[in-house]
Amino acid sequence: MTRILSYNILAGGYSLRAGGARRTEQIVTMIRSTQPDVVGVVEAIHPQMTKKPLVIEDIAEQLEMQLITANRPKHIHDYQTALLTRLPVVDTQIHMREGLTKPLLEVCVEEASGERLTVFVTHLAAAFYRGWAGNHIRKREVREILKIMAARRGTPHLLMGDFNSIAPGDRLQASALLDYIVKLDNTRQAYVHDGDGNPYLNFVVPPQLRILNPLLRQVPRSTLLSTLFDAAATLYAPRGSIRLLLEAGYQDCFRLLNPGQQSFTCPSAAPAGRIDYIFASPELAARLSKSSVITGAEGVRGDEASDHLPVFAEFGMGVSSNRGYEAEKAVEVH
């Protein structure tokens, strides 16, 4: 079997509001609880934290896993994605294209059966303050990712990461998210938002609607307002990028095995929505045996490790079928 974990570790594993404290042990405990073979890590490297070893390097050493980083940020303030693996690495590519706000990391590994599995790690744009424009940005990114993954059509591959989007049919408890953000804002004071990694009210509210911020701060205090806010937000929630993946034939691993379960992934301290996913190609989805959201491990709460909860998927063994791989390997890297 092959065990996969997708995990946004928040700001490179540093708690910048606590003087840059490292969350290495908490993150390692969460990851180790699933004994994964491959871990897709979002926000793996903080661009402003350069003292070696980095948290992600410590994590890789403690887990005895190989670390591969995208390491080509488009902007100096961008977090970087990474991949941890204990499986042999066959090939690595970093895709940088106009339609992507962040590079797409592609790593091909060899499973115990000899089957080659291609893993893509992504972090779609948030841009919530841009309203529906943010949704269009994420849809553009997914269309570009689908073009890249087309080269792997017919072979086992998966896409995982933080999609900053809600799946069709999923709920969004927006009042819980709003309450979480307001409390963060109340304790943040003059902290520089860009390096924090946590959301703040102006980050999710479009400029033209910020005049309503005082009212929004009152919503979590009222049951009626919270109910109305949740209903409105569920209708407004961005779902287009996830719909594109589903229409292309990719399977949402968690939803495939847990059709009636919500299991929100973010924020971990007040779970309000599921925005972290593992999507499997049809031939890989046929091998899916388990999928879950990890809420805690060995005395560590999920919110002590990150503001996201990791998503886990386990796949049974496939039959080795590497014929034609070398021909498919000729993927254009931008």
Task: Identify the pLDDT of residue 203.
Answer: 65
* pLDDT of amino acid 210: 64
**What is the pLDDT at residue 224?**
79
pLDDT at 218: 78
pLDDT averaged over consecutive 10-residue blocks of the chain (334 residues)?
97 87 97 98 91 96 97 73 98 93 96 96 78 80 97 97 93 80 70 60 63 73 77 72 96 96 90 94 97 95 96 83 37 36
Domains of the chain: 2-123+155-164+246-317 (3.60.10.10)
Q: Which residue has the tokens 């990851």?
A: 31
The pLDDT, as a whole number, for residue 209 is: 60
Taking the C-alpha atoms of residue 311 and residue 254, their distance in angstroms, rounded to an integer, is 8
Contact 93, 56 (CB under 8 A): no
pLDDT at residue 74 in the model: 63
d(CA 111, CA 170): 32
pLDDT at residue number 117: 98
Nearest residue to 244 (alpha-carbon basis) of 277, 268, 201:
277
Read off the pTM.
0.88
Q: What is the number of other CB atoms lying within 10 angstroms of the CB of residue 110?
A: 16
DSSP string, 165-221: -PPTT----HHHHHHHHHHHHHHHTT--HHHH-S--HHHHS-GGGGGGHHHHTTGGG
Residue 246's H or E segment, with its range, is: helix 240-247
CB 309 within 8 A of CB 216: no
